Chains A and B, each alone.
Chain A
Amino acid sequence: MHAPHCGNRLRRAFIGVALFGALPGSVSAFTATLTPVAPQTVYLQVGVGSFTGDYINGGQPQNNTTINTVSATVAAAAVGNGTAQAMTTNSSATQSFFDGFTFCSVPGQVYIGGFYRTTGANTSAALVTAAVPAALTNATGSTIPFSKISWTSSGNADAGAEPFPSGTFANGAMQNVGSMGSNSWNESCLTFSYANNTVPAAGTFTGVVLYTLSSP
Chain B
Amino acid sequence: MSRACFFLVCAFSIIWASAAQAKTTTIDDSGTQALEPSVSMRWQTSTPSRKGGANLMIGTTTLRVRLNVTPWLHRACRIYLDFPAQRPGAITTSWVTQGRFMPGQVHSGNRVLIYSGPIATPFLEDVMKFQFSLDGSLISRATPVTFHFEMDED
Contacts and interface: CB of A to CB of B under 8 A. Distances in A.
Contacts, number: 149
Interface string B130-154: 1010101111111111111101000
- How large, as a class, is the contact surface on chain B? 35 or more
A184 B55 CA distance: 9
B29 A30 contact: yes
Interface in A28-47: 28-39, 41, 43
Nearest to B46: A60
A184 B148 contact: no
26 contacts: A1-B70, A1-B71, A3-B23, A3-B71, A3-B151, A4-B25, A25-B31, A26-B30, A30-B146, A31-B146, A32-B132, A33-B39, A33-B144, A34-B39, A34-B142, A35-B59, A36-B136, A36-B140, A39-B57, A61-B47, A115-B47, A118-B136, A121-B137, A121-B140, A181-B52, A183-B136
Interface residues of A, number: 42
Contact of B48 (A9, A28, A184): A184
Given A28-B27, A29-B26, A120-B140, A183 B147 contact: no
B63 interface: yes
A35 B140 contact: no
Contacts of A33: 37-39, 142-145
Q: Which 3 A-B pairs have CB atoms at the shortest separation, nearest pair first?
A: A120-B140, A184-B52, A3-B25
B32 interface: yes
Interface of A: 1-4, 6, 9, 24-39, 41, 43, 55, 59-61, 98, 115, 117-123, 181, 183-185, 187
Which secondary structure dominates where chain A touches chain B? loop
B43 interface: yes
B139 A119 contact: yes
A34 B45 contact: no
Nearest to A185: B50
B90 interface: no
A32 B130 contact: yes
Contacts of B26: 4, 6, 9, 28-29
Contacts of B110: none
A32 B61 contact: yes
B47 to A, nearest CB: 4
A26 B41 CA distance: 25
